[in-house]
Amino acid sequence: MLDFLWNLGSFIIALGILITAHEYGHFWVARRCGVKVERFSIGFGKAIWRKIGADGTEYVVAMIPLGGYVKMLDERVDTVADELKPQAFNRKSVWQRIAIVGAGPMANFVFAIFALYIMYLIGVPSIKPVIESTQAGSPAAVIQVNKPMQVIAVGDRSVRNWEEVTYALVGHIGDDAIDVTVAPLSGVMGEERSYKLDIRKWKFNPETESPITSLGLDVFRPAITPKLGFVDEDGAAYAAGLRLGDTLVAVDNQAYDDWEQFVAKVKASADKPLSVTIRRDGEQLKLTVTPKARTIDGGKVEGVIGVAPTQAPWPDEMQLQLEYGVGESLWVAADKTWQLVTVSIKMIGKLFTGDVSVKNLSGPISIAQGAGNSANYGLVYFLGFLALISVNLGIINLLPLPVLDGGHLLYYFIEVITGRPVPEKVQEIGFRFGAALLLILMSIALFNDFSRL
């Protein structure tokens, strides 16, 4: 319950910030173009707070935090007094209307730069992308790894941590090949090696694996210890008496060997009692755990008890602090935003070509979980999450669907070309079509969200 409330609260805060940035873009440019703004609302429905500003605009925070709007004076919507008609949105030039509508998505991109700028000023603890081997028969099998090697570039983009590797790899889904450059962890000049990976048959399910492991890269990880670093209070292990900090001694009356062996036994014991011996405060305890059954892809059933181990500290040479000065942070933030924009656009394109499944679409539930998880890790990670969602919000609003900002822009650019507005009947048909398509996409995203729960 606490996790649900935390995720919900983080989601509302994140969405409120992003909606405010988006609507403020419309508001700011509308005012600069001489349009009278009647209401600036964050959320829909009944107002829980309102104030009339000195500029005559009504500022509102409403109960349903799933959107917002800027209500501008418009003769197509309301009767407008003669003396106020010059301030009506519909009386402005087509280029001014384009600027006002386009300012919302642009504000999302600007906010992403701002969030990342603050993030890089604070500093982001990261881990270098080091691999210790590759999987036989995988696209990455061509890479020769005799000792831990650091991935330094994917395609034509340099990478510094696993997040950047992930974004770079995702951008190549559907391509025939991808270049991956590796170098010794020591960073000796001249020892870099580039490999061309054949990815024509590369597929991965983002719900169960990452693009890194599915490509065949075995990520270096510090040794796993038998000490429990996480015990789910709703899991079978907690119900059986296991607690955070317990050390595994034996499983099924056999001495604990390694974590993979332990996991294999748990998976093979769905709904079957399993003997687990642990050490706690210097004493050994023997407990009986009955793993809960879970159905995975293909209908296979496996056991799960809800625990995770601790691991040895990361070696100092593999740790990285992404931190920059006042000026450099702005450049890095802008470059990162551009990378997010290009990857997001590519992914939308691959949805239409079929290279990416619609099963990858995420809705508000997944976003709420992402907001809660990033907030759990701290401010810098929450800022990174805000930047990612802000970029996606800006891009989605630029799609040429009549119900979105991009649809309005499409109509206005047609007006620029033809010299006259798109007929209202045509616009109405477009709005209905756009609303229907958007509803279908949202339904798919929600279905995907519920199927992941």
Helix 162-170 with 326-353: angle, nearest 10 deg = 40
272 CB-near residues (< 8 Å, 6+ apart): 290, 291, 303
- Is residue 318 a contact partner of residue 131, using CB atoms and an 8 Å limit? no
Question: Which tokens is 381 given?
Answer: 């990670």
**Which residue among the candidates 23, 209, 283, 317 is catalytic per the annotation?**
23
- DSSP assignment of 37-83: EEEEEEEEEEEEEEEE-TTSPEEEEEEEEEEEEEEE--TTTS---GG
198: number of Cβ within 10 Å: 12
As a whole number of angstroms, the distance between CA 106 and CA 394 comes to 7
As a whole number of angstroms, the distance between CA 440 and CA 402 comes to 15
As a whole number of angstroms, the distance between CA 292 and CA 303 comes to 5
Instruction: Supply the DSSP symbol for 207.
Output: T
As a whole number of angstroms, the distance between CA 336 and CA 306 comes to 36
As a whole number of angstroms, the distance between CA 88 and CA 35 comes to 6
Q: Is 23 a catalytic residue?
A: yes
93 CB-near residues (< 8 Å, 6+ apart): none
The rounded radius of gyration (Å) of the Cα atoms in the chain is: 27
146 CB-near residues (< 8 Å, 6+ apart): none
175 CB-near residues (< 8 Å, 6+ apart): 199
AA identity, residue 432: R
438 CB-near residues (< 8 Å, 6+ apart): 401, 403, 404
Cα–Cα nearest to 38, from 1, 15, 70: 70
- Is residue 51 a contact partner of residue 426, using CB atoms and an 8 Å limit? no
Handedness of CA 209, 214, 220, 223 (dihedral sign): positive
As a whole number of angstroms, the distance between CA 343 and CA 337 comes to 10
Catalytic residue numbers read: 23
